[in-house]
Amino acid sequence: MTQKFQPPKGTRDFMPEDMARREYIFNTIKAVFEKFGFRPLETPAFESWELLGAKGGGGEAIRDEVYVFRDKGGREMGLRFDLTVPTARVVASNPQLAWPFKRYQIGRVWRYDNPQAGRWREFWQADADVFGSGSMAAEAECIAAFAACLKELGFSDFEVRLNNRKVLSGMTEVSGISAAKSPAVFRALDKLEKQGEAVVRKELKEAGVTAKQADKLMTMIKLNGRPKEVLEKATKLLGGNAAARQGLKELEEICELSKSYGTAESIVINLGMVRGLDYYTGPIYEIVAKSKSSVGSIAGGGRYDRLVELYGGKPTPATGGSLGIERIYEIMLAEGMLKDIPPTKTRVFVAAAGESDPRLAKAVLETAQKLRKEGIPAETDLMGRKLKQNLDYANRLGITYVIVIGGKELASGRLTLKDMRSGEQKSMGIPQVMKAVSLQ
Amino acid sequence: MTQKFQPPKGTRDFMPEDMARREYIFNTIKAVFEKFGFRPLETPAFESWELLGAKGGGGEAIRDEVYVFRDKGGREMGLRFDLTVPTARVVASNPQLAWPFKRYQIGRVWRYDNPQAGRWREFWQADADVFGSGSMAAEAECIAAFAACLKELGFSDFEVRLNNRKVLSGMTEVSGISAAKSPAVFRALDKLEKQGEAVVRKELKEAGVTAKQADKLMTMIKLNGRPKEVLEKATKLLGGNAAARQGLKELEEICELSKSYGTAESIVINLGMVRGLDYYTGPIYEIVAKSKSSVGSIAGGGRYDRLVELYGGKPTPATGGSLGIERIYEIMLAEGMLKDIPPTKTRVFVAAAGESDPRLAKAVLETAQKLRKEGIPAETDLMGRKLKQNLDYANRLGITYVIVIGGKELASGRLTLKDMRSGEQKSMGIPQVMKAVSLQ
């Protein structure tokens, strides 16, 4: 097999069977987002590098990961690395929007990452965000929408890990660490779960945090569990700090509102959870599926009240997050959650039996057209093949029914309907066939 | 209004109202393609430049229009400029495919063009192609699928212009023009409709075609009209030429098969229609909408039997084409064909009346959740606003119903349902409300 050309490294082709599964995921997510009143937005695949690299927008941290190029006019551009930055640009330049602006966007993003298990250079994200609301109701709703997507996709067991950047700031303050060190401290803490405490302590030390400060911080960030208990303990330790107090109050509000959304039971508060991005300003969350093939968080987000302003807009509170489509897809594949998705929408193959006969060919095409008019996807032979080969093709593609038309059928006005699952075949009148193959 | 950042030149943001209209178009096309048994394929946004620029694949003609960049590994890449070349690559490297491989792909492509009316640097195409069949049945089916898309979208009057590269080759041969000059001759003829005969003659002369040869050629390419008459006249003029004879036979077959598809009435044969791309090898077609705001062809395609081989695959007959989404969108907008598309999927806004009361807030959220569980998209206040402002928001977004819950409703267990179209409002029990706002 010669394969002269391949998809670029880190990218994939999705064949029709893959697409059937992925579209099931996309359509499910889309329908859930719409049930919560999120509306679709589409932005260009590339943006000016000036936008993508704006300090604080996330770009500067991943400069090496962005596909940057110059257009023919010499302007520096980059493929979008997320869907949040382009949307923040849209919000910044459209002050006439109706508030809240609740948008979702499902689309590809690009990062020049080293391809490895579950890491792609081209991958899909599904975002839902609320712009214009500073209320914790927006957080509770985003979390509820992401949880509903996961439930609808068949994830029965997942945990929403909640924290707040304000609480994290409070903890560093209380530990005697200066605010200037916060970004480095948060980046160190982000490694706790994956790389362990020793690595975190080493990085904290490099960031100029003393051992005593680190001890104090580590005690607090280990608070993790049911909201009520964590909030009580944290209030004792941090209640004297204004930022932490405000952050804990916000977390309490989210937990309270989540009861009405039916998501409260899934929430834990994890004061060590940080999330990588610098732009968060308030509550942050990650959703982790508890599954055999679990691969970390499958959704996450948070509040970023200063991003719109960064791109020239009015101060605009904002909160929201992403579903990690690739991880969701891989878990669902691995756990057989997609095995019932039909590989093709084609419901019927209409085939001629016997000799090549223009009248047969005509009857075949016209029967297929009749099916299509009724909304039933149908195919016919485009290869000049015999019945046997057409049956093989229908079987290979997973087409449910084959209608066979031969001389006998032409004479009687009846059709032969073969059910490819059972192999059973019956002679029927046209209205009977239509009813049998109908999707209802 | 400060607008610090804009979408890159030649690209657009699609706001939710635009997206509602565009998704209507995409979903309609997708459903029609699937009714004909085409299956979805997805390929990366960029490909190696080696692939895109392969001689004969179309790339070399538009080198200046491709967004080319180097990835961090130094490999030269380009954003895809169409959906045919990537698919031909997929077919070339997947010889295990079931034949015919009928795929559709709806997605964005990029060309560094000078932005002007209806020309974008990022735009969408919707392709359907059949790989593996050399039969004219494949052509007839692609044409039928494109025509069905246009009908379903509401285009009642359009013309399918059909020609054949073999007939064009035959005409140049009969005119005494050497085969080597064909590409230049075809490029000249392509300008007939838009730039007139004088321009074409000038370019033919530059290509080394004598005035006498040009005269002969011009007589033939002006044959245009109902298939029967054009085929008769062309057979008289060209019947002695083998390539032309084969090409005319193919056109006759397509016209005959199109009767069973119900598309024959829309077909004209236009022997002067060329289409820009060099890779066509057989029948070619364009679909032109006859509309007030007509802007040229809105769909087109043809047979390209040598492209898969060019990318390292086995010789594989192939035919198919594209719907020009941007032109379709613009015509439909201009002619009011999209005016009934609802700007939001949200059906109900659930609002609290009167004082801020935690019991009211809870009832609002739980009612919205109940609606969502029934599949009815619902929103609630995320801004802490009063009823009046929430009604304004619902009205501005085009949400059909508002459910109002106040102290009275809380006490009675009944809800107030307001129809935003009529302004009418009624008190109802919950099951009654569910039924009233249901989408069925």
**CB-based contacts of B330, cutoff 8 Å, min separation 6:** B118, B293, B295
Cis peptide upstream of residue A100 (ω within 30 degrees of 0): yes
Question: Looking at the complex, does the CB of residue A344 fall below 8 Å from at least one CB of chain B?
Answer: yes
Chain A residues with beta carbon closer than 8 angstroms to that of B18: 42
B294 in the same domain as B149 = yes
Q: Cβ–Cβ contacts within 10 Å for residue A270, how many? A: 24
- What SS3 state is found at A356? coil
- What SS3 state is found at B270? strand
**CB-based contacts of B327, cutoff 8 Å, min separation 6:** B118, B295, B296, B297, B298
- With respect to residue A279, please indicate whether it lies within any of the assigned structural domains: yes
What strand order describes the sheet that includes B318-324? B39-40, B101-110, B122-131, B318-324, B297-303, B283-289, B158-164, B267-270, B224-225
User: What is the total count of domains within chain A?
Assistant: 2
Average pLDDT over residues B68-77: 91
| DSSP per position, A139-195 | HHHHHHHHHHHHHHHT---EEEEEEEHHHHHHHHHHTT--GGGHHHHHHHHTTHHHH
Q: Which two tokens stand for residue A340?
A: 């019932």
For residues A181 and A204, give the distance between their C-alpha atoms in angstroms, rounded to a whole number: 9
CATH code assigned at B410? 3.40.50.800
B401 in the same domain as B268 = no
B145 in the same domain as B13 = yes
Contact B334, B326 (CB under 8 A): no
**CB-based contacts of A74, cutoff 8 Å, min separation 6:** none
Q: Which two tokens stand for residue B216?
A: 């002969």
Whether A42 sits inside 8 A of B48 (CB atoms) is no
Q: Which residues span the domain enclosing A387?
A: 348-437
The tens digit of pLDDT for each residue in B7-36 reads 999 999 999 999 999 999 999 999 999 999
Final residue of a domain: which of A334, A368, A397?
A334
Question: Looking at the complex, does the CB of residue B63 fall below 8 Å from at least one CB of chain A?
Answer: no
For residues A252 and B192, give the distance between their C-alpha atoms in angstroms, rounded to a whole number: 72
Interface of A with B in 167-226 (CB under 8 A): none
The tens digit of pLDDT for each residue in B92-122 reads 999 999 999 999 999 999 999 876 666 899 9
For residues B36 and B43, give the distance between their C-alpha atoms in angstroms, rounded to a whole number: 21
- With respect to residue B1, please indicate whether it lies within any of the assigned structural domains: no
Dmax (CA) for chain A in angstroms is 94
The ipTM, to two decimals, is 0.95
A225-236: string of b/e by CB count within 10 Å (b at 16+)?
Answer: eebeebbeebee
Give burial (CB, 10 Å; 0-12/13-18/19+) of A55.
exposed
Report the mean per-residue pLDDT for chain B.
93
- What SS3 state is found at A66? coil
A1, A4, A5, A105: best to mutate for the B interface, most B CBs within 10 A: A5
Tell me the β-bridge partners of A78.
Answer: A47, A68
B162 in the same domain as B114 = no
Final residue of a domain: which of A334, A368, A399?
A334
The tens digit of pLDDT for each residue in A82-141 reads 999 999 999 999 999 999 999 999 999 999 987 666 689 999 999 999 999 999 999 999
Final residue of a domain: which of A282, A306, A334?
A334
For residue B142, how far is the Cα from the chain centroid? Answer: 13
**CB-based contacts of A153, cutoff 8 Å, min separation 6:** A25, A28, A29, A328, A332, A337
Give burial (CB, 10 Å; 0-12/13-18/19+) of B333.
middle
Query: Does the model's pTM come out above 0.90?
Result: yes
Going residue by residue through chain A (440 aa), what tens digit of pLDDT does each one get? 446 799 999 999 999 999 999 999 999 999 999 999 999 999 999 999 999 988 776 666 677 889 999 988 899 999 999 999 999 999 999 999 999 999 999 999 999 987 666 689 999 999 999 999 999 999 999 999 999 999 999 998 899 999 999 999 999 999 999 989 988 898 899 888 888 999 999 999 999 999 999 999 999 999 999 999 999 999 999 999 999 999 999 999 999 999 999 999 999 999 999 987 778 999 999 999 987 666 679 999 999 999 999 999 999 999 999 999 999 999 999 999 999 999 999 999 999 998 778 899 999 999 999 999 999 999 999 999 999 999 999 999 999 999 999 999 989 989 999 999 999 999 999 999 999 999 76
**Residue that the structure tokens 């990366």 belong to:** B44
For residues B49 and A113, give the distance between their C-alpha atoms in angstroms, rounded to a whole number: 20
A400 in the same domain as A325 = no
Contact A407, A354 (CB under 8 A): yes
For residues B250 and B256, give the distance between their C-alpha atoms in angstroms, rounded to a whole number: 10
pLDDT of residue A263: 97
**CB-based contacts of B236, cutoff 8 Å, min separation 6:** none
B369 in the same domain as B336 = no
Chain A residues with beta carbon closer than 8 angstroms to that of B382: 100, 102, 130, 133, 135, 137-138, 141
Contact A100, A94 (CB under 8 A): no
For residues B42 and A12, give the distance between their C-alpha atoms in angstroms, rounded to a whole number: 8
Whether A37 sits inside 8 A of B94 (CB atoms) is no
Question: Looking at the complex, does the CB of residue B397 fall below 8 Å from at least one CB of chain A?
Answer: yes
User: Which ranges of B56-191 does DSSP label H, i.e. alpha helix?
Assistant: 84-92, 136-153, 165-174, 182-189
**CB-based contacts of A190, cutoff 8 Å, min separation 6:** A274, A275, A276
| DSSP per position, B332-373 | HHHTTTTTTS-S----EEEEE-SS--HHHHHHHHHHHHHHHH
Per the rule left: phi > 0, alpha: psi between -120 and 50, beta: everything else, A158 is beta
pLDDT of residue A1: 42
For residues A106 and A225, give the distance between their C-alpha atoms in angstroms, rounded to a whole number: 32
The tens digit of pLDDT for each residue in B36-71 reads 999 999 999 999 999 998 877 666 667 788 999 998
Contact A142, A320 (CB under 8 A): yes
Rounded to 5°, angle at Cα B141 from B136 and B145: 150
DSSP state of A7: P
**CB-based contacts of A268, cutoff 8 Å, min separation 6:** A159, A160, A161, A162, A224, A225, A226, A227, A230
- With respect to residue B3, please indicate whether it lies within any of the assigned structural domains: no
pLDDT of residue B55: 75
Between A2 and B191, the more confident residue is B191
B203 in the same domain as B103 = no
Q: Determine the distance in angstroms separating the CA of B53 from the nearest CA of chain A, rounded to an integer.
A: 12
Chain B residues with beta carbon closer than 8 angstroms to that of A110: 45
- With respect to residue B284, please indicate whether it lies within any of the assigned structural domains: no
Tell me the β-bridge partners of B417.
Answer: B403, B426
B129 in the same domain as B69 = yes
Average pLDDT over residues B359-363: 93
Relative to beta strand B318-324, strand B122-131 is antiparallel
The tens digit of pLDDT for each residue in A342-363 reads 999 999 999 999 877 889 999 9
Contact B66, B111 (CB under 8 A): yes
For residues B287 and B161, give the distance between their C-alpha atoms in angstroms, rounded to a whole number: 6
B269 in the same domain as B179 = yes
Q: Cβ–Cβ contacts within 10 Å for residue B413, how many? A: 9
Chain B residues with beta carbon closer than 8 angstroms to that of A9: 71, 73, 75
For residues A287 and A298, give the distance between their C-alpha atoms in angstroms, rounded to a whole number: 6
Q: Which two tokens stand for residue A69?
A: 């190029």
- With respect to residue A5, please indicate whether it lies within any of the assigned structural domains: no
B285-300: string of b/e by CB count within 10 Å (b at 16+)?
Answer: bbbbbebeeebebbbb
Whether B40 sits inside 8 A of A16 (CB atoms) is yes
CATH code assigned at A65? 3.30.930.10
A399 in the same domain as A326 = no
Chain B residues with beta carbon closer than 8 angstroms to that of A64: 72
The tens digit of pLDDT for each residue in B425-435 reads 999 999 999 99
- With respect to residue B42, please indicate whether it lies within any of the assigned structural domains: yes
Q: Which two tokens stand for residue B55?
A: 């001689």
Contact B92, B51 (CB under 8 A): no
Question: Looking at the complex, does the CB of residue B6 fall below 8 Å from at least one CB of chain A?
Answer: yes
Q: Determine the distance in angstroms separating the CA of A415 from the nearest CA of chain B, rounded to an integer.
A: 18
- With respect to residue A8, please indicate whether it lies within any of the assigned structural domains: no
Average pLDDT over residues B276-301: 86
Element (H, E) at A105: strand A101-110
A198 in the same domain as A173 = yes
Asked if pLDDT for residue B2 goes beyond 60, the answer is no
Contact A299, A321 (CB under 8 A): yes
Relative to beta strand A76-79, strand A101-110 is unpaired
A330 in the same domain as A356 = no
| DSSP per position, B180-220 | GGHHHHHHHHTTHHHHHHHHHHHHHHHTT--HHHHHHHHHH
